[in-house]
């Protein structure tokens, strides 16, 4: 058996055909600039790691979970003027998600967790539509950065490539992070309209109008130690949910 039988990309048919998987995880990232010091693949790297660590914890407690390959492109309509930011429209995401769900359903895997790593992705309406068409499936979505209160671990709030994300990346891929002395301060401009500024009105942000370094949030106090504590709390919580979901009867989900 491979050392990580819960990672589909590393697992052989020999293992797959003899394992009854209960839950599938589909990590979904994005390819975009993350301030001056983090790589374009930050959301992909984070979702890879968090999905794998959560699955490992669940697997070691007896849950047969499988992590599908991470999808690397997200909704980046507000960042298209930043070179090599790659946008995938929500309508495209919906088609891809539908095909993944159809495949799993045909194969008898009826529980799917979307592990989202990018703020521009919003799968809720897609799940509403697909689940009506595939009522035998249970589909849910998790934004991993919203699971644990950041205030317990970090000095400053992080919107994009700030203290939290930089700490996470310093913990899981430090070789890809430039020295923090080279990072921008992540200072962001706000909307002039009060409803948008107070967030009871919403519209997409045009990123280069908001920030000069593509970051929103100051990364200067980030440390690998902060990232480790935050990641441990988040992955333990996800793993607990995976255990509950694996044991759940889809015909009896309410109390």
List, for residues 79-136, the tens digit of each pLDDT value: 999 999 999 999 999 999 999 999 999 999 999 999 999 999 999 999 999 999 999 9
Q: Average pLDDT of 225-229?
A: 98
**Exposure class string for 157-169: b at 16+ Cβ within 10 A, else e:** ebbbbbbbbbbbb
User: What's the pTM value of the predicted model, to 2 decimals?
Assistant: 0.96
Q: Average pLDDT of 218-244?
A: 98
φ and ψ of 150, to 5 deg: -65, -30
Go through the domains of the chain in sequence order and give each one's CATH number. 8-247 (3.40.50.10310)
Contact in structure between 61 and 68 (CB atoms under 8 Å): no
Q: What is the pLDDT of residues 34-82, one digit of tens each?
A: 999 999 999 999 999 999 999 999 999 999 999 999 999 999 999 999 9
Would the pLDDT of 156 be above 80? yes
Burial degree of 248 (CB within 10 A; 0-12, 13-18, 19+) = middle
Whole-number pLDDT of residue 38: 98
Would the pLDDT of 142 be above 90? yes
Q: Is 184 left (phi over 0), alpha (psi -120 to 50) or beta?
A: beta
Q: Average pLDDT of 8-26?
A: 96
CA distance 58 to 52: 10
Would the pLDDT of 237 be above 90? yes
Q: Average pLDDT of 16-26?
A: 96
Whole-number pLDDT of residue 2: 72
């Amino acid at each position: 058996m491979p050392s990580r039988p819960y990672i589909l990309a590393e697992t052989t048919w020999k293992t797959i055909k003899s394992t009854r998987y209960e839950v599938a995880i589909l990590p979904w990232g994005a390819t975009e600039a993350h301030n001056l010091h983090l790589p374009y693949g930050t959301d992909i790297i984070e979702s890879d790691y968090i999905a794998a660590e959560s699955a490992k914890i669940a697997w070691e407690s007896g849950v047969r979970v499988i992590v599908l390959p991470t999808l690397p492109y997200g909704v980046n309509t507000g960042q298209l003027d930043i070179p090599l930011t790659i946008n995938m429209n929500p309508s495209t995401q919906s088609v891809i998600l539908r095909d993944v769900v159809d495949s799993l359903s045909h194969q008898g895997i009826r529980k799917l967790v979307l592990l989202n790593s990018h703020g521009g992705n919003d799968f809720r309406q897609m799940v509403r539509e697909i689940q009506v068409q595939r009522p035998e499936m249970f589909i849910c979505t998790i934004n991993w950065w919203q699971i644990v209160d950041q205030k317990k671990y970090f000095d400053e709030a992080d919107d994009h490539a700030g203290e939290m994300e930089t700490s996470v990346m310093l913990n899981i891929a430090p070789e890809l992070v430039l020295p923090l002395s080279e990072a921008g301060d992540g200072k962001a401009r706000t909307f002039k309209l009060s409803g948008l500024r107070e967030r009871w009105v919403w519209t997409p942000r045009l990123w280069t109008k908001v920030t000069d370094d593509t970051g929103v949030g100051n990364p200067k106090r980030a440390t690998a130690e902060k990232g480790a504590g935050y990641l441990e709390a988040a992955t333990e919580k996800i793993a607990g949910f995976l255990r509950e979901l694996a044991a759940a009867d889809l015909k009896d989900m309410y109390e």
